[in-house]
Amino acid sequence: MKGRDTKLKARDIMMQPAVAAAKSTTVRDAAIQMFLGGFSGMPVATRDGLLLGVITEFDVIRAIRKGRLAENTAVEEIMTKEVISVDAETSLDEVITIMDTAHILRVPVTENGKLIGIIGRSDILKAVVEPNFMEFS
């Protein structure tokens, strides 16, 4: 990994806390949370952190397009159930490879099978790009 710190692990760059929806959360409430949180998707998990799926803005848009009512549809009905996740000890290089190969925007981070964080594209950029901008007051 030229130009990147090869010692960085998923745990070093993940965002915490990871906001996750319960499977019974309405699509409407999940969409509001994504909008207010400034993210385009979120994990769906049990209260003890077991990862069940992922819901994205695109899942919401597809559901609405199919005529589903966002306030009456649970996220478990439209979420992606085959979740790609990484362990907290996964190397940054492997995280990047997984996200690039799978064409995903974010990846949940787990430890002992439980959700502990999430890595988005911007988290990777913050970790690998040395800023060349300054702020002055």
Cβ(88)–Cβ(117) below 8 Å: yes
Per-residue confidence (pLDDT) for residue 2, from 0 to 100: 45
Q: Is the dihedral of CA 71, 76, 80, 83 positive or negative?
A: positive
Per-residue confidence (pLDDT) for residue 136, from 0 to 100: 83
pLDDT higher than 90, residue 93: yes
Cβ(43)–Cβ(83) below 8 Å: yes
Q: How many CB atoms lie within 10 A of CB 15?
A: 16
Q: Which two tokens stand for residue 135?
A: 């702020």
pLDDT per position as a tens digit, 33-49: 999 988 899 999 999 99
pLDDT per position as a tens digit, 63-92: 999 999 999 999 999 999 999 999 999 999
- CATH class of the domain defined by 10-128: alpha beta
**Strand residue runs (E) in the chain:** 41-45, 51-56, 86-87, 106-111, 114-120
> For residue 137, what pLDDT band results from cuts at 50, 70 and 90?
confident
**Domain coordinates of the chain in residue numbers?**
10-128
> For residue 129, what pLDDT band results from cuts at 50, 70 and 90?
confident
Distances (CA, A) of 84 to 2, 39, 80, 128: 26, 18, 10, 22
The pTM of the full predicted model, rounded to 2 decimals, is 0.85
Per-residue confidence (pLDDT) for residue 13, from 0 to 100: 95
Peptide bond connecting 17 to the previous residue in cis, omega within 30 degrees of 0: yes
Q: Which helix (H) or strand (E) holds 124?
A: helix 121-128
Distances (CA, A) of 97 to 4, 77, 92, 94, 124: 14, 29, 9, 5, 12
Per-residue confidence (pLDDT) for residue 127, from 0 to 100: 87
